[in-house]
Structure 1
Amino acid sequence: MAGMGSILFSAKAIVVKLAYQYGADSATVLALRMLLSLPFFWLAVYWQSRRQSSVPLTRQDIFTVIFLGFVGYYLSSYLDFLGLRYITVGLERIILYLNPTIVLLISLVFLKKTIVPKQWVAMGFAYAGVILVFSQDIRWDSHQVTWGGLLVFGSAVAYAIYLIFAGEIVQRVGSIRLVALASTSSACFSLLQALLLNPSALWTQAPEVYQLSLFNGAFCTFAPMLLVMLSVNRIGPGLTSQAGMLGPIATIFLGWYFLNETMSFIQILGMLVVLGGVAILATIKPTQQPRPELSEAE
Structure 2
Amino acid sequence: MKCNNKVLIILSFFSIYFIWGSTYLLNKIAVTELPPFMLVSFRFILAGILIFIISKFLKFKLSITLKQFLNASIAGFLFLAFGNGVIVWALKYVDSGFAALEISAQPLIVILLMRFIEGKRIQSMSVIGVVLGIIGIYLLISQKQLISQEGMLTGMVMIFVCMISWAYGSLFVSKADLPPNFFVNTGYQMISGGVMLLFASLLFKEQWIPITDWSNKVQFSMIALIIGGIVAFTSFNYLLRTVSPEKVATSTYVNPVIALLLGWYFLNEQITFQSIIAAIVLLTGVYFINTKKKLVVYSRFKK
**What's the TM-score, normalizing by structure 1?**
0.80
In structure 2, the partner of 1:84 is 91
Amino acid at match of 2:208: A
**Counterpart secondary structure, 2:46:** helix
Moved more, 10-19 or 238-247: 238-247
Q: What residue is the counterpart of 1:291 in the other structure?
A: none
Q: Residue 27 of structure 2 corresponds to which residue in structure 1?
A: 16
Identity rate, percent: 17
Quote the residue 2:155 is aligned against: 148
User: Could you tell me which residue of structure 2 aligns to residue 279 of structure 1?
Assistant: 287
What is the rounded CA distance, in whole Å, between the counterparts of 1:27 and 1:79 in structure 2? 8
User: What displacement does 1:11 show?
Assistant: 1.6
Question: How has the CA–CA distance of structure 1 residues 27 and 246 changed in structure 2, closer, same or farther, with 3 Å as cutoff?
Answer: same
Aligned match of 2:37: 27
The aligned counterpart of 2:3 is none
Letter matched to residue 19 of structure 1 = A
1:57 pairs with 2:74 = no
Give distance in 2, aligned partners of 1:203 and 1:66.
Answer: 28
Counterpart CA distance in 2 for 1:162 and 1:252 is 26
TM-score of the superposition, structure 2-length normalised? Answer: 0.79
RMSD: 3.3
Q: What is the count of residue pairs matched by the alignment?
A: 279
Residue in 1 that maps onto 2:276 = 268
Please list, as runs of the form range in 1=range in 2, the aligned pairs for 1:112-131 lying within 5 A after superposition: 112-131=119-138
Give deviations 1:194-242, integer Å, cap 9, x for gaps.
23434751536732244422221112x123345678999xxx9999876
Gaps of 5+ in 1: 286-298
Letter of the 1:13 partner, please give it: Y
Residue matched to 1:296: none
The alpha-carbon distance between structure 1 residues 227 and 175, as it changes in their structure 2 partners (threshold 3 A), is closer
**2:194 aligns to what?**
187
Secondary structure, counterpart of 2:155 in structure 1: helix
8 Å contact 1:14–1:254 — kept in the other structure? Answer: yes
More helix by share: 1
Structure 2: stretches of 5+ with no match in the other structure:
1-10, 294-303
Distance in 1 between the 2:161 and 2:258 partners? 23
Change (3 A) 1:255 1:46: same
Q: 1:125 to 1:40 in 2, by over 3 A?
A: farther
In structure 2, relative to structure 1, the CA distance for the partners of 1:170 and 1:44 (3 Å cut) is farther
CA–CA distance in structure 2, aligned partners of residues 160 and 18 of structure 1: 26
8 Å CA contact retained: 1:75, 1:158: yes
**Bigger CA radius of gyration:** 2
Checking the alignment, whether the CA contact within 8 Å between 1:245 and 1:275 is kept in structure 2 is yes
Q: 1:35 to 1:58 in 2, by over 3 A?
A: closer
1:38 equivalent in structure 2? 48
User: Is the 1:37–1:214 Cα contact (8 Å) retained in structure 2?
Assistant: no
